[in-house]
């Protein structure tokens, strides 16, 4: 298994440009998430999905769109990049916990995409 893969690893954009960060997982996980990591702020949840066709907003969704057409893929789109979106982006996947809270319940992270917006 490749686990969670992300492309590209690095990207430089100009303000106003658009792009899509790709995320794929081969573990048949139902849940997928996008986080951004900024110095001194830890990881913040952008959007998440609990299954194909179902997405919802996290803590910092503004400026980002997502879709989940398949179980494997969860792309993150920046429609008009801004310097404030300069960050490292991580995708993660997990299986839902079993009844009673036990079960896998562990998120697996991709290697990240380092995005710079000039």
The interface with another protein within residues 84-113 (CB under 8 A) comprises 90, 92-97, 101-102, 105-112
By the rule CB under 8 A, 2 interacts with another protein: no
What residues contact 102, with CB distance under 8 A and at least 6 apart? none
Check binding of 58 to another protein (CB under 8 A): yes
Instruction: Note whether 41 binds another protein by CB under 8 A.
Output: yes
Residues 6+ apart with CB under 8 A from 32: 23, 25, 48, 49, 68, 74, 91, 92, 93, 94
Q: Which residues bind another protein (CB under 8 A)?
A: 4, 31-33, 35, 40-45, 48, 50, 58, 90, 92-97, 101-102, 105-112
């Amino acid at each position: 298994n490749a686990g969670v893969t992300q492309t590209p690893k690095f990207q430089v954009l100009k303000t106003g440009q658009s792009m899509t960060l790709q995320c794929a997982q081969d573990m048949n996980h139902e849940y997928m998430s996008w986080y951004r990591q900024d110095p001194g702020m830890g990881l913040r949840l952008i959007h998440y999905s609990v299954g194909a066709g179902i997405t919802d907003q996290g803590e910092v969704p503004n400026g980002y769109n997502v879709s989940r057409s398949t179980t494997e893929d969860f792309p993150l789109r920046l429609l008009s990049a801004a310097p404030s979106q300069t960050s490292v982006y991580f995708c993660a996947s997990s299986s839902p916990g079993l009844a009673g809270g036990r079960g896998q319940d562990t998120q697996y992270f991709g290697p990240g995409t380092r995005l710079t917006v000039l």
